[in-house]
């Protein structure tokens, strides 16, 4: 992060022209990995497990399904649950390994 920047005001995003859903990931590498596994999804990094990023309400207004793809660990699960409590339209998409990068590495092995 650059000095003076605010994690809660930005994100890293990867997508194609046609998007079926949005997935919130903890890190940029997880967003990239999730997008390789799910190319029809727009995958965003929240720069850590953040249950209420400032820009989430804008995404919710798009009308696309939004999934919380935070890590499959106690922190990721707890913050995903909190995010879903704050925004009931969001659903959980838990990676089948610790994170999306691990899933991709297992998939390519």
Q: What are the backbone dihedrals phi and psi of residue 26, each rounded to the nearest 5 degrees, phi first?
A: -75, -40
Domains and CATH numbers, the chain: 18-108 (3.40.1360.10)
CA angle 14, 17, 20 (to 5 degrees): 80
Q: What are the backbone dihedrals phi and psi of residue 23, each rounded to the nearest 5 degrees, phi first?
A: -125, 125
What's the whole-number mean pLDDT along residues 75-99?
A: 96
Give, as one character, the DSSP assignment of residue 14: E
Q: Which tens digit of pLDDT belongs to each residue from 50-64?
A: 788 888 999 999 999
Helices (H), 10-54: 28-37
Residue 8 has pLDDT above 60, yes or no: no
**Confidence class of residue 33 from pLDDT cuts 50, 70 and 90?**
very high
Instruction: Please state which of the ranges 43-57, 64-78, 87-101 shows the lowest mean pLDDT.
Output: 43-57
Percent of the chain scored above 70 by pLDDT? Answer: 83
| Residue 16 contacts residue 36 (beta carbons within 8 Å) | no
**Confidence class of residue 46 from pLDDT cuts 50, 70 and 90?**
confident
User: How many other CB atoms sit within 10 Å of the CB of residue 98?
Assistant: 13
């Amino acid at each position: 992060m650059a000095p003076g920047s605010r994690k809660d005001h930005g994100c890293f995003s990867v997508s194609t022209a046609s998007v079926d859903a949005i997935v919130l990931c903890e890190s940029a590498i997880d967003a990239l990995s999730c997008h390789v596994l799910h190319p029809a999804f727009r995958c965003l990094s929240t720069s850590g497990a953040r249950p209420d990023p400032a820009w989430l309400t804008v995404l919710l207004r798009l009308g696309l399904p939004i999934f919380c793809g935070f890590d499959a660990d106690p922190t990721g699960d707890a913050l995903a649950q909190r995010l879903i409590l704050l925004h009931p339209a969001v659903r959980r998409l838990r990676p089948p390994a610790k994170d999306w990068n691990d899933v991709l590495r297992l998939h390519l092995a």
